Amino acid sequence: MRTADEMLRDAAAAYEAGRLATAEVAYRRVLGKRPNDRQALFGLALLSIQAGATEQAIQYLLGSLVSGPNIGPSWNLLGRLYVGTGRLTEAKTAFNRATELSPEDCEVRCNFAACMRLEGDFQEAEAQLRRALTCPPPQAAAYEALIDLLRDQGRLKEAAQTVGDWFAREPTNPIARHMAAALGEGGPPARASDEYVRAHFDAFADVFDLALGRLDYRVPELVASALRVAASHAGGHPFPTLLDAGCGTGLCGPLVRELCGRLIGVDLSPRMLHHARQRGCYDEVVAAELGAYMRSRIEAFDAICCADTFVYFGTLADPLAAAHQGLRAGGPLVFTVEALLEPDAAGYRLGVSGRYLHSEAYLQRVLRESGFRVESIARQVVRQEMGRDVEGFLVTARHVAAQNA
């Protein structure tokens, strides 16, 4: 008969090989012999996270910490799970313990800072991030989070200095390069690079929904409402196939599910797609650059929605041309951008946030040139930022066949 230690090794090997059901059976057998085994409980917590059972994962982690209370990574993981469920007081306690046990762990400091920022304690968030930058070595996530915090407080000179320090340390880092351009170092790129988008959103995925919820984020509801209007113009019938382009964690998914027969989500960030998949409302999620994906699916979609994704493009000619290729004739395209309200010759500008702003005149022109008929461009408040309204444009356009464009 195999010992508990042998079963633990079997479970760990099965987990690493992706044989999760086998790993779960092995961990449970260990608990049959040693009911409070820390490693088995931690392993079951990881399996619960993979299955999307967050509350169950928390209970397993708490059990593992009874047997091994001085394991910093376990407290860090517990804090992350608490943040994901909005339980910031419990998360703060967990991160406090994690920093006591792992004071030089940059990831722990960054996670603690994210928790404190969500709680509204910007001073403590900044203190944790500045401490994170002294850890050997500092992670890119610490630089990005500190720049974001300083920028949102209007401390642009300090944000630019931090970007400069980071860029000097990591000149090839895509986030550092993009944020340097956003804060005035060199000319802005025509669009955010794939590397920037993927790295930025992979890092942000676990707290994305909670963070936006605290900003009164309205874009998914605005996009879904516009799609309902577009469906009513088509006789009120659901769209056979709807593409959520740049779906992120899938915030639009539950709101547009009833409007389509088949719902597909595409995004560059695998970690964002993990959360979208867990919502259970997508028929398919695909990790890909949305322009390339739409060009590879000629006339595959009856409608496309794009919630706050074109804000990572300056010129929109390429993604709009791809959307035109992917749409069937007469299909609607609904999207949002942040509003550029000052006169600008180019019609778009890279903001200090790292997102692009677009003017209404530019949208009218580029949509027409890309083969769309504009049905509406509505100025809307899309979210709050440091207590201020952020305005955007909610756009509905219709695919026009080439000979009629």
Do 162 and 22 lie in one domain? The reply is yes
Radius of gyration of the chain from Cα atoms?
Answer: 23
The Cα–Cα gap between 8 and 161 comes to 49
When pLDDT is averaged across residues 3-16 and rounded to a whole number, the result is 92
When pLDDT is averaged across residues 126-147 and rounded to a whole number, the result is 92
Q: Which H or E run includes 240?
A: strand 239-245
The sign of the CA dihedral 193, 249, 362, 185 is negative
Do 145 and 278 lie in one domain? The reply is no
Give the range of the structural domain holding residue 233, as residue numbers without chain letter. 211-404
Choose one of 193, 220, 252: the last residue of a domain: 193
> Is 216 in contact with 384 (CB distance < 8 Å)?
yes
pLDDT at 405: 45
Confidence of residue 267 (pLDDT cuts 50, 70, 90): very high
> Is 316 in contact with 245 (CB distance < 8 Å)?
no
Any idea what the CATH number is for the domain that residue 189 is in?
1.25.40.10
Q: Which H or E run includes 304?
A: strand 303-306
Q: How many CA atoms lie within 13 Å of 185's alpha carbon, on the beta-carbon side?
A: 20
Choose one of 165, 193, 221: the last residue of a domain: 193
Confidence of residue 402 (pLDDT cuts 50, 70, 90): low
Per-residue model confidence as pLDDT tens digits over 317-333: 999 999 999 999 999 99
232 inside domain:
yes
Q: What is the dihedral of CA 357, 360, 361, 367, to 10 degrees?
A: 90
Q: Which H or E run includes 56?
A: helix 54-67
Per-residue model confidence as pLDDT tens digits over 332-360: 999 999 999 998 899 999 999 999 999 99
| Percent of the residues in the chain that have a pLDDT greater than 70, as a whole number | 99
- Rounded to 5 degrees, φ, ψ at 133 are -70, -10
Do 228 and 350 lie in one domain? The reply is yes
374 inside domain:
yes
Any idea what the CATH number is for the domain that residue 397 is in?
3.40.50.150
Per-residue model confidence as pLDDT tens digits over 72-122: 999 999 999 999 899 999 999 999 999 999 999 999 999 999 999 999 999
- Rounded to 5 degrees, φ, ψ at 380 are -140, 150
Do 189 and 221 lie in one domain? The reply is no
Any idea which residue has 């040693």 for tokens? Answer: 34
Q: Give the angle subtended at the CA of 373 by the CAs of 289 and 389, to the nearest 5°.
A: 65
> Based on the structure, what is the number of domains in the chain?
2
